[in-house]
Structure 1
Amino acid sequence: MSHPLLSVRDLTITFPDGDGGRRAVVNGIGFDLEAGRSLAIVGESGSGKTMIGKALLGLLPDAAAIGAGSLRFDGRELTANREADWRALRGCEIGMVFQEPMVSLNPAFRIGDQLTEALVARRGAGRAQARELAVAMLERVLVRNPRDCMRRYPHEFSGGMRQRIMLAAVMLLKPRLLIADEPTTALDCVVQKEVLDLMRELTEQEGTALIFVSHNLPLVAAYTENVLVMCRGDAVETGPVRRVLARPAQLYTRRLLEALPRRDAGAAAPPPAAPILEVQDLSVDYTVREGWRGKRTVRALHPTSFTLAPRETVAIVGESGSGKTTLTKAILGLAQPSGGSIRLGGEELIGCSRSARRAAGRRIQMVFQDPYSSLDPRMQVGALVGEGLRLDPGLDPDERDARVASALEDVQLGGDFARRYIHELSGGQRQRVAIARALVTRPEIIIADEPVSALDVTVQKQVLDMLVALQDRYGFACLLISHDLGVVEQVSDRVIVLLRGHVVEQGTRDDVFDRPCHPYTRRLLQAVPELYGDSIQGFRIEQRRLPKSCPDLPYFEPERDGNGRCVVELSTDTPPHCVAVALGA
């Protein structure tokens, strides 16, 4: 009988526990993987998923040790490998696509040099042959203008393009096993689907086995055949992905499925109220250099209008580069608008005085995507949360301390958390600190930029539930930026869809999700597998079902008037929440 390509038996990985002993972070894990087959490893942060992948590549941290077990790859025992054996194995036999390609790609070298280096050193290819192979692989992963790409640096590409380049670099060596560790966490849903489709296509064409490490259960169901569910280092459940996710036998697996974001059909919309924020025909232009002296103007945000009322959540969705961040920067005064109006509580912010802008800044607070980067690691949590109160003349020191303590209690971080540092907290706790820091000034608006994209599903649910409860308590409005449509569907009241700086569709959540009309909105919704059912009836994950009765508004070439401005005509049949847009404008 032929042996499996990879066989893991009773794998245990330990770390020092601080008391002279060792504790297991991976405890007795075992599985087999045949050539050309796929396995997903899922679980919460800290469950040991990434440690298994690093053990297969000999990349465990210095403090880690394989305490017991066996790792056999193509019949060879890996735990006995020397460093030279690991170097021969990495890349050529086992490849790995890491979570953040900007960290994996060297910013000091051109893409072409990084793609051809391994082919020359490991496969013995000549420079010219290696460049042609690299260009061909870039074409296969749908990188536009691959020859030009070879001359550019990583920072010149979007996150989705960098992940495609990273996938091309790994697959160029044709490894027999590919480990993909959260490869799409920071990507929008359309690019996420494109990258995963490419990864599956390449592995199927080359007969490569795939280990997909993720906390995203719908993606696991769509792209893998078998699943291993882990909790705190233990294997909770394993088997064919359709069976495990449809009828999970263990409570922990059911908890993961039930934590996936979904719409609360019984949630009431906030009562009508006068808007606190009014954006009218807001546009933003950037000047970019061409060559040594040339310049040109690029319109990053075309005229955009919307309102935001107290207690209301408006979500802005769209792919990378669609203008979401540019819009919020203009509202915060961090980008200079080219036209339009921004009114906060009836007061115009564009062209206002510095003191008025500073006062507006206290009324609008921001929750950033990555709290580890946005919070000073040298400051304790209490000082970080209270930083926004330092210039408030109406509070004395005792009142500031009480406000900080109250904000930390609001996000369930009471006790000694105020004296801790950021590196001592988990990802979910750090995001709670970021929310407390925004809440402490009692703002009227909170802008949340991808607030839960890097969190696993159970922590994500806790943070979202907490944010909704705090909004009910304090009545602030929320402007949510997200590429996770499940999160948007769970918490938003209205949705704005951006594409290449244009608003292509906007309306209530139910209108946009149940009756999408623009083809781009449909593409967004169908790019994400949907969870149906419950723990009693059983779960199923499939492509979102959209009504066939919705008319499509096709992309079209714009007509222009005598001044070169785009002319758009809407028919009387166009739904009120959908906006036709000429993408060439």
Structure 2
Amino acid sequence: MTLTAQVLAAEASAVQVPVLELENLSVSYSDQHRKHRRVVHGVSLSIAPGEVVALVGESGSGKSTTAQAVIGLLAGNGRVDGGSIRLNGTDVAGWSQKRLESIRGAKISLIPQDPTSSLNPVITVGAQVEEVLRLHTRLPKAGRKQRVLELLERVGIPDPARRAQQYAHELSGGMKQRVLIAAAIALQPQLIIADEATSALDVTVQRRILDLIDDLRTEFGTAVLFVTHDLGVAADRADRIVVLKGGRIQEQGATAEVLDRPSSPYTRQLLADAPSISSGETRPLPSGGRGDAVEVRNLVQEFGAGRNLPAFRAVDDVSFSVPRGTTHAIVGESGSGKTTTARALAGFQRPTSGNIVIGGQNLAGLDAKGLRLFRQHVQLVYQNPFTSLDPRQTIARIIEEPLLNFDAVPRQRRHEAVRELLHRVSLPDSLLAKHPRELSGGQRQRVAIARALVLNPEVLILDEAVSALDVTVQSQILALLEELQRELDLSYVFITHDLAVVRQIADTVSVMSNGRQVEQGTVSDVFQNPQHQYTRELIHAIPGNRKARP
């Protein structure tokens, strides 16, 4: 233990003080002209030993900046303008990076959001966990390697000796996040900051990760600061909630109190928008008798695995139908086959066997020209609107482009269609000349939806189309999709791992696991009376089911 860490520990043991205490913390970022803009305004909060505090808010609310200031990892153009950051009673706000390094990992650890970008791709995961031990302990090399295996086993990684020799790309998302947790707990820190640490994970993997953090808190008395936009996670796991907007605290208090009696209009809006802690009611099924927009029968999709190896069956005998004007959800964890099914529906790959009939057309009988024309009737909206929109094109050009790929449409009519669609997705004309980087995530997703609608399709396939959005923006996009469905008589196939969203927007659902459809039916029937154990596990893992911790 370093001298600085010893001082902090001695101060903590003398008097029971908060592990973390922020008082009037203010943070700003400078622009290219070195002009500073305040983004965190007088934030005050505290976390006691063994306590879990959730810092919640939308993107841009200042929650990640607050967390980065605590651990001294602000971007190069960021600075703490004022206030104190006390760890075990010692103000570290003015400490140098060298001095802060002595307590990072030892007394305070960070679990970042994206494990893929947080792990070094050219160093084994075992070596990356070992680095924490090398920097902060005097363990010999053999002792460090043994401790790495113990840590990997502790976080639930099977066959840790083999996994320790692997690289990040060889591990699943959940496995990579466990590696980061192993590094974070290596020295049993007094405070763990989890910055959106489970937001990109499937619900069952998310639950296992959160259970693990909970176990560590109970076992070691570790304090936890959850930075999240997911009020369901906060409701399940936090003792107290702090709500941020625009860098200012809107309210804070015991979890049950904030959830049951929110005092801030902003908090009330967040709660109303969060599907995971909504009433749980499913929407009523529309009246039948209008025929099916989509029919899938015995779909099989295989991919070649290489010489002398059997083909990999990604989708195995899947069947479902989508009544016209309704929404069918396909749910499951990563690797379940749901995105492969979506790509087959969009005509991007030919099924190995089975039939897909959309708008009366059987995809199996279409040649290349027929497939091209078919895509006028079926459009795909992707998960990440930033990567699916050409950064070099203006918004007007992005929306207009599909019209240029089919029958000639006069220029004036194209421009009129673009403006009509922009208004339909509630965006102003002023965005037409802008580029995707100048728009927010919600605005970009609205542009992606407008582009998909420009050809007047009958069916939209939405592949995790709201999973990357904050709850408030997500709620706005879901409301927009419902409005468009009513006005344009659209049929949706909604691909997602988020059952809380399914409960809100879908009429029928297929549950997939390992390429097979394990359950299918109306959302109401599947949620209220799940027949398969896997479905029950998915529903049980929805954040917010536990409401508040006892």
Bin of the TM-score, shorter chain as denominator length: over 0.9
Number of paired residues?
532
- Residues 505 and 232 (structure 1), Cα distance of their counterparts in 2 relative to 1, 3 Å cut: same
Alignment partners' CA distance in 1, 2:287 and 2:414: 31
Equivalent pair of 1:529/1:542 in contact (CA under 8 Å): no
Equivalent pair of 1:322/1:498 in contact (CA under 8 Å): yes
- Residues 294 and 510 (structure 1), Cα distance of their counterparts in 2 relative to 1, 3 Å cut: same
Secondary structure class of the residue paired with 1:71: strand
Segments of 4+ moved more than 6 angstroms: 17-20
Residue of structure 1 equivalent to 2:291 = 274
Amino acid across the alignment from 2:142? A
- Residues 36 and 530 (structure 1), Cα distance of their counterparts in 2 relative to 1, 3 Å cut: closer
Equivalent pair of 1:270/1:311 in contact (CA under 8 Å): no
Cα displacement (A) at 1:336? 4.1
Cα displacement (A) at 1:118? 2.2
What's the CA shift string for 1:457-484, capped at 9, x where partnerless?
Answer: 2111111101110111111110001111
What's the CA shift string for 1:69-93, capped at 9, x where partnerless?
Answer: 0111123221211121122222222
Matching of residue 368 in structure 1 with residue 382 in structure 2: yes
Cα displacement (A) at 1:529? 4.1
Secondary structure class of the residue paired with 2:61: coil
Cα displacement (A) at 1:266? 6.3
Residue of structure 2 equivalent to 1:189 = 203
Alignment counterpart, residue 54 of structure 2, candidates 33, 36, 40: 40
- Residues 124 and 329 (structure 1), Cα distance of their counterparts in 2 relative to 1, 3 Å cut: farther
What's the CA shift string for 1:52-77, capped at 9, x where partnerless?
Answer: 11101211122222111011112322
Alignment counterpart, residue 234 of structure 2, candidates 220, 228, 243: 220
- Residues 174 and 334 (structure 1), Cα distance of their counterparts in 2 relative to 1, 3 Å cut: farther
Secondary structure class of the residue paired with 1:296: coil
Equivalent pair of 1:270/1:312 in contact (CA under 8 Å): no
Alignment counterpart, residue 463 of structure 1, candidates 477, 482, 485: 477
Alignment partners' CA distance in 1, 2:151 and 2:368: 52
Residue of structure 2 equivalent to 1:557 = none
Alignment counterpart, residue 151 of structure 1, candidates 165, 170, 183: 165
Alignment partners' CA distance in 1, 2:311 and 2:263: 58
Alignment partners' CA distance in 2, 1:37 and 1:147: 33
- Residues 364 and 6 (structure 1), Cα distance of their counterparts in 2 relative to 1, 3 Å cut: same
Alignment counterpart, residue 547 of structure 2, candidates 541, 544, 556: 541
Amino acid across the alignment from 1:177? L
Residue of structure 1 equivalent to 2:89 = 75
Alignment partners' CA distance in 1, 2:516 and 2:81: 56
Alignment partners' CA distance in 2, 1:126 and 1:20: 47
Alignment counterpart, residue 391 of structure 2, candidates 361, 377, 396: 377
In the superposition, the TM-score normalised over structure 1's length comes to 0.87
Residue of structure 1 equivalent to 2:340 = 326
Q: Bigger CA drift: 194-203 or 122-131?
A: 122-131
Report sequence identity in percent: 39
Alignment partners' CA distance in 1, 2:393 and 2:230: 33
Cα displacement (A) at 1:251? 1.8
What's the CA shift string for 1:412-458, capped at 9, x where partnerless?
Answer: 11221111111111111111111111111111111111111122221
Secondary structure class of the residue paired with 1:29: strand
What's the CA shift string for 1:137-190, capped at 9, x where partnerless?
Answer: 222222222222122221222222221222122222322211001111121211
Cα displacement (A) at 1:353? 0.8
Residue of structure 2 equivalent to 1:487 = 501
Cα displacement (A) at 1:96? 0.8
Alignment partners' CA distance in 1, 2:29 and 2:97: 21
Q: Bigger CA drift: 373-382 or 505-514?
A: 373-382
Alignment counterpart, residue 273 of structure 2, candidates 245, 250, 259: 259
In the superposition, the TM-score normalised over structure 2's length comes to 0.92
Cα displacement (A) at 1:196? 0.6
Secondary structure class of the residue paired with 2:432: helix
Residue of structure 1 equivalent to 2:78 = 64
Q: Residues 173-572 of structure 1 correspond to what in structure 2 (within 5 A)?
A: 173-261=187-275, 262=278, 267-289=284-306, 295-350=309-364, 352-530=366-544, 541=547
Residue of structure 1 equivalent to 2:109 = 95
Matching of residue 112 in structure 1 with residue 118 in structure 2: no
Equivalent pair of 1:229/1:253 in contact (CA under 8 Å): yes
Secondary structure class of the residue paired with 1:395: coil
Alignment partners' CA distance in 2, 1:3 and 1:530: 31
Cα displacement (A) at 1:130? 2.1
Amino acid across the alignment from 1:15? Y
Equivalent pair of 1:158/1:320 in contact (CA under 8 Å): no
Alignment counterpart, residue 29 of structure 2, candidates 15, 23, 30: 15
Q: Give the aligned CA root-mean-square deviation in angstroms.
A: 2.0
Unaligned runs of 5+ in 2: 1-14
Equivalent pair of 1:99/1:182 in contact (CA under 8 Å): yes
